[in-house]
Amino acid sequence: MACGPKAMIGPSILNSDLSMLYDESEKMINSGADYLHLDVMDGHFVPNLTFGHPVVKCLRQKIPKSFFDMHMMVANPEKWVEAMADAGANQYTFHIEASKDVPDLCRKIKEAGMKVGIGLKPGTDVSVVLPYGPLADMLLVMTVEPGFGGQKFMADMMPKVERLRAEFPLVNIEVDGGVSPANIDQCAKAGANMIVSGSAVVKSPQPAEVISQLKQAVQKVFPE
């Protein structure tokens, strides 16, 4: 981190064929993905269900080295820290709106051996997360309402990214939701270096080309 954030592209496999989760994940890694963004939804915090730690553990057994960024869209994020750590997760990204004690949750995540990610829904003011920025390895700005894939990118979230980058120049800042080659420049210029892209990558017949386009755009702002 001393050298500053670097460009990283993490496909969201929520939009892939979930009956072939391993194959789809391996395809993304072979296409140049820097990490995998795994969406966990509980049907409470968001009105949808995906998968939990048993699936993640199976995926880790087949993909031993890739970085797993867990996007925990769950009502009680404290509940799943140990299970996700045991499953092989690398980063535990919870929503600030769901946590009753953010500092304690950050401590638990770190003690479990994972990096800390803190996410913000579109309707949450960026000021809410500022006191906790020093505790985080990554701050996530949602550019759609969490819970469903394939939504339209919300460009009016970019001021949040700008504020977070100004406040925390060495922290990874991630955007998630509707990100594609058409709007990647906005994300990068605002200060996002970790890019989650679902449909634009996963649904493309040439995912490696899309990942390359996204990464090159971010590298203009965050050269290595």
Catalytic positions, written as ranges: 39, 176
Residue whose structure tokens are 């960024």:
69
Q: Given CA atoms 105, 107, 111, 113 in this order, what sign does their dihedral have?
A: positive
150 is in an annotated binding site: yes
148 is in an annotated binding site: yes
31 is in an annotated binding site: no
37 is in an annotated binding site: yes
Tell me how far apart the alpha carbons of residues 53 and 67 are, in angstroms, rounded to a whole number.
Answer: 15
10 is in an annotated binding site: no
147 is in an annotated binding site: yes
198 is in an annotated binding site: yes
Query: Across the strands, what pairs with 95?
Result: 119
Could you give the count of Cα atoms lying within 13 Å of 167 in the half-sphere of its Cβ?
Answer: 18
Q: Which uninterrupted H or E stretch holds 167? A: helix 158-167
Could you give the count of Cα atoms lying within 13 Å of 179 in the half-sphere of its Cβ?
Answer: 32
Q: List strand residue ranges (DSSP E) for 159-214, in order.
A: 172-176, 194-197
Q: Which residues are annotated as a binding site?
A: 12, 37, 39, 71, 147-150, 176, 178, 198-199
